[in-house]
Amino acid sequence: METILKVSAQPYEFRFEPASTALLIIDMQRDFILPVGFGEMLGNDVAKLKPAIEPTRRVLESFRSKHLTVLHTREGHRPDMSDCPPAKRARGNLKIGIGDKGPMGRVLIRGERGHGIIERLEPLPSEPVIDKPGKGAFFATDLELILKNLGIRSLVVTGVTTEVCVQTSVREANDRGYECLVLVDCVASYFPEFQRAAIDMIKAQGGIVGWVSTSVELLKVLTGV
Ligand code: TIU
């Protein structure tokens, strides 16, 4: 029998069936979260992303304990950089930028330390990791195929940064017919005002892009599963 769970959310209650829902953790990579990575090279204070780690860990543990689907994404490029648009590489006029050698290896390059997901949220071998060359998780990836094969219709979305890769991915998912619940305490931005604005944009106009709630509200309903 189908189990439908109801989470208190904005703009209104989010309903989902656990079996057809995936946790999508966006880009919790050292390059964005730790000092001396790409995020800091862009001039950002990476400490602003830290508060999202522990709430995300709690949601991840809950999904794992209930054998629900967990997917991770990583932004980055092939070592030969054939999938990195020259315009993306040039952006920001950085002294050390994408593909260059930094303290955590080549910046945003697959297989390098900085490109990896932080230990606290390290994927299990059974959890698909989607490598994406862009900000959106659907652009030039096999995410849609994987979701279709798993019978996923709803996404619980967490990760960084809220107004860049999270928002782009949620918009892409919404256009493809997925219902997305973004957990406010599990997403983070280098800019508090962008965090607020991105969250407001998602839930405005009757949930034009998706729903917004917190890890606490979601865990309340998942506990009963
Ligand atoms: N710079 C910034 O806010 N974000 C990114 O470049 N990528 C992601 O959000 N993952």
Question: What's the pTM value of the predicted model, to 2 decimals?
Answer: 0.98
CA distances from 21 to 56, 67, 71, 104, 163 (A): 16, 11, 11, 34, 23
According to the model, what pLDDT value does residue 1 have?
A: 63
Structure tokens at 101: 């050698």
Tens of pLDDT along 101-145?
999 999 999 999 999 999 999 999 999 999 999 999 999 999 999
Residues with CB under 6 A from ligand 1: 27, 32, 42, 75, 135, 160-161, 164-165, 190
* Nearest CA residue ID for atom 8, ligand 1: 165
Give the percent of the chain with pLDDT over 70: 100
Element (H, E) at 55: helix 53-65
pLDDT over threshold 80, residue 224: no
Average pLDDT over residues 56-77: 98
Does 211 score more than 70 pLDDT?
A: yes
pLDDT at 19 over 70: yes
**Catalytic residue selected from 84, 165, 180, 186:** 165
Model confidence at 225: pLDDT above 90: no
